[in-house]
Amino acid sequence: MLKAHSSVTALLRYTGISIPDKVATCRNITCMQHLFGAVRWRSKFTAAPLLTAQPARALIDEQIAIQGRFLPPHWPVTVRAHMHSEEGDLWEAFSHYKTNENGVVNLTTDHSVGGSYVGCEPMGLFWALQPAPSAREGLRLRKKDVETPYVVQLSLWEGHVSSSKRPIEDEQTAGRLAASTVERWYMTPHTRRVEIRQNGIVGTLFLPSGPGPFPAMVDLWGMGGGLNEYRSALFASKGIASLSLAYFGHKDIPGPLDELNVGDDYFRSAYNLLQDHPEVCGERIGLIGLSYGVYLVLRMATHIGVKPMCVIGINGPLGSYDKFPGIKSGDVVNYQMLDEHGNFSLRHFTMPSMIPKENQIKFEMLECPLLCIVGEDDYNCASMETANEIEEILRAAGKAQLFTRLSYPGAGHLIEPPYSPNARVSLWTVKPKKINAIWGGHPAPHAAAQEDAWKKMLDFIEYNLRK
């Protein structure tokens, strides 16, 4: 300690700092560490455990680097993620690790040995989120207010724990070592959200920051109805204007909520509205649809006189099957669209052989590239059979070069932006009776499919709308 004292005193004299002898000779020289990083000394104190997550604020498709430090070496620890949905339901995920010889756990490089997933999955705590045991049944996590983030709490725990083994919702429970918070956004700060209620069109337009005109997408979802904005918001955050378009089950569209009350004129008007927008490059517009939205965007591209530059279809049918749309909630049971477990499924009804020829898309009329994304574990739509049929039709028409397929084993129906939790089964309707829809998909391969498909979708859009 005398040696340390003489070194500090000499350093103070060299820098010209005047300090009383009694301070210079003090055994506690912690303040010197702040002033002079090169000063080292032994201490009986160790740093408290630390959990870091960087960046703490990011878009939903960006990776977060999570690391725990200042822990005992070769020590079992749990990293937990939890958040509350906009409806107030608790979602959580757990991963189990052992620290390395330096007392560090790094989720980017280390393998989880248990919990909600196993293996090296840097974003596993996000895509593995599931409703807590106390939450309601049949939940699906979907962002409604895209102008606010998901706020995810991360925490570091001693030992390997999970909600099924011991309750840890109380953050004061013994064993919690450190915590951190991250924000997950669908919109960058200067992305603009514009509600559209014009000429009967119901939608939301998202515009990137900066000067336009921008390439653009028309974004359609499935027969779940309503207005889903989060994919469009993320497109705009990547520099692509996007119109999220409602067509079914929305209060601002005239007619019964449980019936499809719009036709070709509605979709043509929506396309033209986007094409004529002063901040959109009218010659560089693409279409994207999921589920029944696939049929609609393919119909737009081939039957109603608009000329998109590209189309993306995610797990959808090649035509409209009899008695649907126009199906009412009570008709689900009548049409026997339930599987052996009582879950709603349209897989059988979307087989190409089940769709009358007069209701099928005339793919020989397609003039733009089509990216077909298939979840091979899709339990709600005959996606693989549909992709096979489309490819065969285009090949016979001499247009095979327009077709690209991305096919993912273990992925289900709901292939969404990266790191979104998959719901294999979720609530479909409560009237006249409670019925769940089965979507399919296994957590890890479905998450891998979402990550890969999103990157390739963006590449596809960039190539076809900016070339």
Q: For residue range 417-427, list pLDDT tens digits in order.
A: 999 999 999 99
Do 212 and 93 lie in one domain? The reply is no
Are 77 and 112 within 8 A, CB to CB? no
Among 160, 185, 210, which residue terminates a domain? 185
For tokens 């189309």, the residue is 311
Element (H, E) at 23: helix 21-24
Domain that includes residue 15, residue range = 2-35
CA torsion sign for 426, 430, 434, 437 is negative
Q: Is 41 inside any structural domain?
A: no
Residue whose pair of structure tokens reads 């059988």 in the numeric block: 348
- Same domain for 179 and 202, yes or no, is no
> Does one domain contain both 180 and 213?
no
> In angstroms, how far is the first alpha carbon of the chain from the final one?
69
Same domain, 168 and 276: no
Q: Rounded CA gap, 439 and 247, in Å?
A: 21
Q: With beta carbons less than 8 A apart as the criterion, state whether 408 and 376 touch.
A: yes
Going by C-alpha positions, the residue among 298, 246, 308 that lies closest to residue 272 is 308
Interval 100-152: pLDDT, tens? 999 999 999 999 999 999 999 999 999 999 999 988 999 999 999 999 999 99
Average pLDDT, the chain: 87
Buried/exposed code over 235-262 (b: 16+ C-beta within 10 A; e: otherwise) = bbbbbbbbbbbbbbbeeebeeeebebbb
pLDDT of residue 330: 42
Helical ranges in 276-343 per DSSP H: 292-303, 331-334
Neighbours of 285 (CB within 10 A): 22
Please give the helix or strand (H or E) that residue 127 lies within, else none: helix 124-127
Q: Is 331 designated active site?
A: no
* Same domain, yes or no: 166 and 207: no
Residue 335, amino acid: Y
Tell which of 168, 185, 202 closes a domain: 185
Q: Examine residue 27 and state whether it is found in any structural domain, yes or no.
A: yes
Residue 332 CB contacts under 8 Å (≥ 6 apart), including other chains: 338, 344, 428, 429, 435
Q: Which residues contact 220 (CB under 8 A, 6 or more apart)?
A: 245, 247, 287, 288, 289, 290, 293, 296, 297
Q: Give the active site residue among 291, 320, 383, 426.
A: 291
Q: How many residues are listed for the chain in this entry?
A: 467
The model's pTM is 0.87
Confidence band (pLDDT; 50, 70, 90) for 164?
low
Query: Per-residue confidence at 337, pLDDT binned at 50, 70, 90?
Result: confident
Residues 311 and 296 in one domain: yes
| 103 domain residue, yes or no | yes
Active-site residue, from 378, 383, 426, 446: 378
DSSP 8: H
C-alpha of 223 from chain center: 20
- Do residues 171 and 209 share a domain? no
Q: Is residue 44 part of a domain?
A: no
Q: With contact defined as beta carbons under 8 Å apart, do 443 and 409 qualify?
A: no
Answer yes or no: do 204 and 340 share one domain.
Answer: yes
Does a structural domain hold residue 40? no
**Where residue 451 sits, what CATH number does that domain have?**
3.40.50.1820
Residue 328 is which amino acid?
K
Closest listed residue to residue 128, CA positions, set 419, 410, 362, 394: 419
Task: Please check whether residues 145 and 252 belong to one and the same domain.
Answer: no
Indicate if 6 and 130 belong to the same structural domain.
no
Tell me whether residue 45 is in a domain.
no
Q: Measured between alpha carbons, how far is 239 from 78 in angstroms, rounded to an integer?
A: 38
pLDDT over threshold 80, residue 21? no
| 89 is annotated as an active-site residue | no
Total number of domains in the chain: 3
pLDDT at residue 234 in the model: 98
Is 377 part of the annotated catalytic residue set? no
* 173 band by pLDDT with thresholds 50, 70 and 90: low
pLDDT confidence bin for 177, thresholds 50/70/90? very high
pLDDT score of 66 more than 70: yes
Transcribe 191-223 into DSSP letters: -EEEEEEETTEEEEEEE-SSS--EEEEEEE--T
Determine the average pLDDT of the residues in 81-104. 97
Is residue 42 domain-resident?
Answer: no
Mean pLDDT for the stretch of residues 165-181:
70
Domain final residue, candidates 128, 155, 185: 185
Residues 168 and 85 in one domain: yes
Report pLDDT for 332.
44
Task: Tell me: do 129 and 168 sit in the same domain.
Answer: yes
Tell me the β-bridge partners of 176. 157
Question: Alpha helices, DSSP H only, in 172-282?
Answer: 230-237, 264-275
- Is the pLDDT reported for residue 10 higher than 80? no
